Amino acid sequence: MRMMASRKGRKLTRATLAADILEGTLDRETGVRSFKGIPFAAPPIGELRWKPPQPARPRKGARGAGAFGPRAMQNPLFGDMVFRARGMSEDCLYLNVWTSIPKDGLLPVLVYFYGGGFGAGDGSEPRYDGASMARQDIVTVTVNYRLGVFGFLAHPELTKESPHGASGNYGLMDQQAALVWVRDNIAAFGGDPARVTIAGESAGSISVCAQMASPLSQGLFAGAIGESGSMTKNRRALADAERSGARFAAGLGIGKAPSLAKLRRISATKLLEAAGRKDTPWFWPIVDGWFLPKPPADVFAAGEQARVPLLAGSNSAEGSWTWLLGKDKPTVGNYRAVLTKLYAEAADEVFSAYPASTEPQVMDAAQDLESDRFIAHETWKWVEAATRTGGKPTWYYLYAHPRPPGSRGASHSAEIEYALGNLDVSPVYAWTPDDYAVSRTLQEYFANFVRTGNPNGPGLPEWPEYGTGKRMTIDVATRAEPVRVRARYELLDRLQDRE
C-alpha cells in the first residue's frame, strides 16, 4: 500500500489499497491530501435495506475520490447543517480521509461520527472538515452511517430473518464496518491502525459510547472522545422497538403485517416521508441483543467495555431556560411551579440543587437543569462509569465559550468548529481573536489526546485526570476546577430510579 502524487503539476494524489486505487486531491499550499466519497460497504439498497453492512465490491483501475458521496436519507431537521454531499441517497455508506505525508512513521488517526439525533447529519459538513486536523499530522476520517428509519428500524420479521436474532442498530453497525475498513486500509494514507481514536458530538458522542460498549467493536480503536452525549441512560429493549416498528410498517398502507419483501420495495422517498410524520416515533439505537447484548450502563458497570482512555464533557448551555419555563417569565414562583409539576414531592430537593432567588438566577438555574436533563448528566455518568471500571485515564471538561456575539453560555454543538480547528470554514459567525485562541487551545487538547491518549502538552494549562476530582473549564481563561456537579447528578440518578 502506498500514497503518491500522481503527476507533477497536477493537484491530484493517489492512494493504492489492496483492492482499489483512489485518486484524490492535493492542497499544494498546506500539503493536505484528501480522499472523499470512498465506499466502505456495499450500498444498503434493495435486499440489503435493513441488513448489516456488507463488504464493498472492489473495482478495477483508479477511481476518482475528489467529491463527497451522497448523504444518508434524512429530513431537514436542523437549520445549522450545511452539506457538501452529492445529493441524498440510500446509497450513502461512504467515508472521507484527510492526511499529510508522514515524515517519520505512521500517523495517529481520528475517526469522527457526526451528530444530528440519529435522524440527520453528514460527513461532508464543513464543521467536521478534516483538513485542519490533518495539518496537525493526524489522519482524519469522517464516516457516513444510515439514519432514522433506514438505520434504526426494528421489526419482528427483521429479527426473525437475522441469524443473530436482532434488528435495528444498522447505523451503529455501519460505523463499526467503517472502523474495520480503517483498520485494514488506513496505512495506505499514512495512518497507524493501532492508534485510532473515535470521536463525535451529540448522536456522534452517543455512538462513541455505544462502540465502546459493543463487543463487535473491541480492538478497533485505542481512544475515545465524547462531546455532549452518551448511551448510559438508554435501556430500550428490542421487543419494545419491534412493536413500534411493526406499528410504523402497518401504517404504510401496504397491509397490516407487510412482508419484508414489500417493505424493501417501498421507495426511499416514501419511507422518508412516512418517517417524518409527527405521529411517527423517533428511530434510535436500542439494546438489540447482538450489537449491544445489554444496556451500555450495565456493560460499563461490569467493566466489559473497551478499556481505552476517554475524554468527554458537555457545554454550559446544552439546554435553555425557556425549555423549562416556556413563555412564562423567569420568576422564582414560575420556576418553583414547574419544578412541582415535574418532580412533585421532590421539587424542593431539586430547587435546593438548582437554587435561585432572582430572575437572572432563575435563568441560570433553569438552564443548568435543562442542560443536565437533556444531555450533560448522562455524559457525566459515562465518564464516572469509565473511571470506576475502565482501568484507563479519563478526562472531563465543561466547554463554556459561547459563539459570537455571545449568549448565556455555550450552546449544544457550539464547540465543534473550535475543537476541529474549523472556524474559517464556518463563515456564519464573526469570529474574534478570542474565538481563535479558544479554538487553538481546544484543538491542541484534542490533537494531543489523539496522539498519546493524554490531552496535555507544552504551552497548555495542565488538565488533571477526572479521578483527581477536577475537570477542565474551557473558555478564554481555560482552567482546571473542582467537579461540583456530583450532588445534583446523584439527585437526578435517584429521581430517575423512581420513574
CATH number at residue 20: 3.40.50.1820
Q: Which helix (H) or strand (E) holds 8?
A: none
Final residue in a domain of this structure, among 308, 334, 361: 308
| Residues 297 and 346 grouped into a single domain | no
| Residues 210 and 341 grouped into a single domain | no
Q: Has residue 389 been placed in a domain?
A: no
479: DSSP letter: E
Distance of CA 152 to the CA centre of its chain: 15
CA dist 20 and 38 (Å) reads 10
For residue 60, the model assigns a pLDDT of 76
Give CA separation, 217 vs 208, 234, 373, in Å: 10, 19, 29
Is residue 240 classed as helix, strand or coil in its secondary structure? helix
Of 8-12, 17-21, 270-274, the poorest mean pLDDT is in 8-12
Q: Has residue 387 been placed in a domain?
A: no
318 is catalytic: yes
| Residues 237 and 329 grouped into a single domain | no
314 is catalytic: no
Final residue in a domain of this structure, among 273, 289, 308: 308
Q: What is the pLDDT of residues 393-409, one digit of tens each?
A: 999 999 999 999 878 89
Residue 452: how many other CB atoms lie within 10 Å = 14
Q: Has residue 247 been placed in a domain?
A: yes
Number of domains in the chain: 2
| Residues 351 and 217 grouped into a single domain | no
For residue 18, the model assigns a pLDDT of 79
Indicate whether 82 pLDDT > 70: yes
Q: Has residue 209 been placed in a domain?
A: yes
Q: What is the pLDDT of residues 422-458, one digit of tens each?
A: 999 988 899 999 999 999 999 999 999 999 999 999 9
The residue-averaged pLDDT of 40-69 equals 93
Tell me which residue range forms the domain holding 205: 1-308
| Residues 302 and 430 grouped into a single domain | no
| Residues 228 and 329 grouped into a single domain | no
Do 269 and 152 meet the contact criterion of CB atoms below 8 Å apart?
no
Residues with Cβ within 8 Å of 247's Cβ and at least 6 positions away in sequence, in order, are none
For residue 436, the model assigns a pLDDT of 98
Nearest to 224 by CA among 457, 449, 495: 449
| Residues 256 and 339 grouped into a single domain | no
Q: Has residue 392 been placed in a domain?
A: no
106: DSSP letter: P
Is residue 188 classed as helix, strand or coil in its secondary structure? helix
Nearest to 456 by CA among 397, 406, 409: 397
Q: Considering the candidates 155, 377, 401, 412, report the single residue annotated as catalytic.
A: 412
Residue 25 grid coordinates: 486531491
Do 297 and 235 meet the contact criterion of CB atoms below 8 Å apart?
yes
| Residues 127 and 243 grouped into a single domain | yes
Q: Tell me the Ramachandran region of residue 230: left when phi exceeds 0, alpha when psi lies from -120 to 50, beta otherwise.
A: beta
For residue 10, the model assigns a pLDDT of 39
Residue 487: how many other CB atoms lie within 10 Å = 9
| Residues 67 and 164 grouped into a single domain | yes
Residue 323 grid coordinates: 425549555
Residue 480: how many other CB atoms lie within 10 Å = 14
With both helix axes pointing from N to C terminus, report the angle between 359-371 and 332-343 in degrees, rounded to the nearest 10.
30
- Say if residue 405 is preceded by a cis peptide, omega within 30 of 0: yes
Choose between 281 and 222: higher pLDDT.
222
pTM, rounded to two decimals: 0.96
Q: Has residue 382 been placed in a domain?
A: no
| Residues 84 and 160 grouped into a single domain | yes
For residue 11, the model assigns a pLDDT of 60
| Percentage with pLDDT > 70 across the chain | 97
Q: Considering the candidates 202, 205, 316, 320, report the single residue annotated as catalytic.
A: 202
Q: Has residue 388 been placed in a domain?
A: no
| Residues 269 and 355 grouped into a single domain | no
For 339-361, give the DSSP string: HHHHHGGGHHHHHHHS--SSHHH
Name the band, by pLDDT with cuts 50, 70 and 90, for residue 6.
very low
Q: Has residue 174 been placed in a domain?
A: yes
Name the band, by pLDDT with cuts 50, 70 and 90, for residue 2.
very low
The residue-averaged pLDDT of 265-289 equals 96
Q: Considering the candidates 90, 125, 201, 318, report the single residue annotated as catalytic.
A: 318
Do 188 and 15 meet the contact criterion of CB atoms below 8 Å apart?
yes
| Residues 353 and 269 grouped into a single domain | no
Task: State the chain's mean pLDDT as an integer.
Answer: 94
Final residue in a domain of this structure, among 263, 287, 308: 308
